[in-house]
Amino acid sequence: MRKVFVIGIGAGDPDYVTIQAINALNQVDVFFVIDKGAAKADLVRIRTDICERYIRDPSYRLVEVRDPERDRAAPAYAAAVAAWRTRRAGIYRSAINTELRDGECGAFLVWGDPALYDGTLAMLEQILTATPDAFEYEVIPGISSVQALAARHKISLNQVGKPLQITSGRHVTEGLPTDIDDLIVMLDANDAFSRITDEVDIYWGAYLGTVDEVLMSGSLREVMGDIKRVRAQKKAEKGWIMDTYLLRRKPQAS
C-alpha cells in the first residue's frame, strides 16, 4: 500500500516546522512539489530548503506537479472552484500513480496548515472516492498564518466571551457581521478592507515568516492608505500578495 503525508510546514519560517512534521519528512520517498508558475517560485524554493534542512537521508525524490490554471473571475465561483479541483485531482492522481511505487511514501508540503484554506485534503478525498485503495494518507498540522499573525503582533485572536470568525476577502466587501467583533481575513486579492466603514482596528501582516515580512497595525482609517500602498508595491515586485489580517471592532462608548 502506498502512503501519502499531507504536511503543514508553517507560514514561511523554517523554524515553524514542528517535530512531528520533521519526523514525517524523514519517512518520505517522493515529495510532490506544486509548481504555481515563475511568480511564485519562492514558495517552491522554501519547500526545497525545508527538505534540505531537516531530512537526514537525501535519497528522496522531488516531483514537480504543475497546478492547473484557475479562473478566479468566473461569475459562478463555486462551480469554477469545483471544476478546477476536478482538473487538479486528475493531475495529482496521475503523478501519484506514476511516481509513487507500492510500499513507498509520498508527501505534499502545505503552506501553513492543511485544514485552513487549502484544497489538498479535498483533492485527495476526490481521488479516493474514485479509487478507494489508491493509497492511505495522514495529515500533519502546521502553524498557520493566522497563528503567526497573532504572535508577530503580540495579540490574542479572541476576546473574552466573544467569537472569532475566519473568512476570505470575498466576504468582507459588505462589512463586518453585526454579531462578530473579531474577523480574520485571508485570501484578499482586492483590498477588501478598504470597503469597511465600521470603526475597527487592523492587525495586518504580509509574507509572514519570510524575509519579505511586513507588519502594520492601528486604526483602519489611519493605516489603510499605507497598507494599500505596500500591497500594491509588493504585488508589483513579486507578482503576488500573501497576507492575513485581523479586523477588531472598537468598543462602543458607554
169-211 residue pLDDT tens: 888 877 788 888 999 999 998 899 988 888 899 999 999 999 9
Q: Which of 80, 111, 143 is the last residue of a domain?
A: 143
How do residues 203-231 score in pLDDT, each as one tens digit? 999 999 999 999 999 999 999 999 999 99
Are the CB atoms for 245 and 181 separated by under 8 Å? no
User: Are 132 and 64 contained in the same domain?
Assistant: yes
What is the number of other CB atoms lying within 10 angstroms of the CB of residue 228? 13
d(CA 199, CA 247): 10
Give the three cell numbers for residue 193. 478592507
Q: Which of 14-18, 34-38, 237-241 has the highest mean pLDDT?
A: 14-18
In this prediction, residue 158 carries a pLDDT of 87
Give the torsion sign (CA, 68, 245, 170, 115): positive
User: Are 122 and 212 contained in the same domain?
Assistant: no
pLDDT band for position 73 (cuts 50, 70, 90): low
Burial of 253 (0-12, 13-18, 19+ CB in 10 A): exposed
In this prediction, residue 173 carries a pLDDT of 76
User: Are 91 and 127 contained in the same domain?
Assistant: yes
User: Are 153 and 214 contained in the same domain?
Assistant: yes
Residue 52 in any domain: the answer is yes
User: Are 40 and 91 contained in the same domain?
Assistant: yes
Phi-psi region of 41 (alpha: psi -120 to 50; beta: other; left: phi over 0): alpha
pLDDT band for position 121 (cuts 50, 70, 90): very high
Residue 221 in any domain: the answer is yes
**pTM confidence score:** 0.89
In this prediction, residue 72 carries a pLDDT of 63
Torsion of CA 43, 47, 53, 57, to 10 degrees: -160
Average pLDDT of the residues of the chain: 89
**Residue (of 210, 206, 213) closest to 241 by Cα position:** 206
User: Are 14 and 134 contained in the same domain?
Assistant: yes
Identity of the residue numbered 127: I
Assign 195 to helix, strand or coil.
Answer: helix
Q: Which of 143, 169, 195 is the last residue of a domain?
A: 143
Residue 24 in any domain: the answer is yes
CATH number at residue 217: 3.30.950.10
User: Are 89 and 150 contained in the same domain?
Assistant: no
Q: Which of 93, 126, 143 is the last residue of a domain?
A: 143
pLDDT over 90 at 42, yes or no: no
In this prediction, residue 22 carries a pLDDT of 98
**Residue (of 10, 5, 9, 12) closest to 208 by Cα position:** 12
User: Are 127 and 184 contained in the same domain?
Assistant: no
CATH number at residue 107: 3.40.1010.10
pLDDT over 70 at 36, yes or no: no
User: Are 16 and 127 contained in the same domain?
Assistant: yes
User: Are 192 and 203 contained in the same domain?
Assistant: yes
Q: Are strands 243-249 and 182-186 parallel, antiparallel or unpaired?
A: antiparallel
Residue 254 in any domain: the answer is no
Task: Give residue 201's domain range.
Answer: 146-249
From the centroid of its chain, how far is CA 66? 17
In this prediction, residue 197 carries a pLDDT of 85
User: Are 14 and 96 contained in the same domain?
Assistant: yes
Percentage of the chain lying above the pLDDT 90 cut:
60
In this prediction, residue 207 carries a pLDDT of 94
Are the CB atoms for 230 and 243 separated by under 8 Å? no
User: Are 132 and 151 contained in the same domain?
Assistant: no
Domain count along the chain: 2
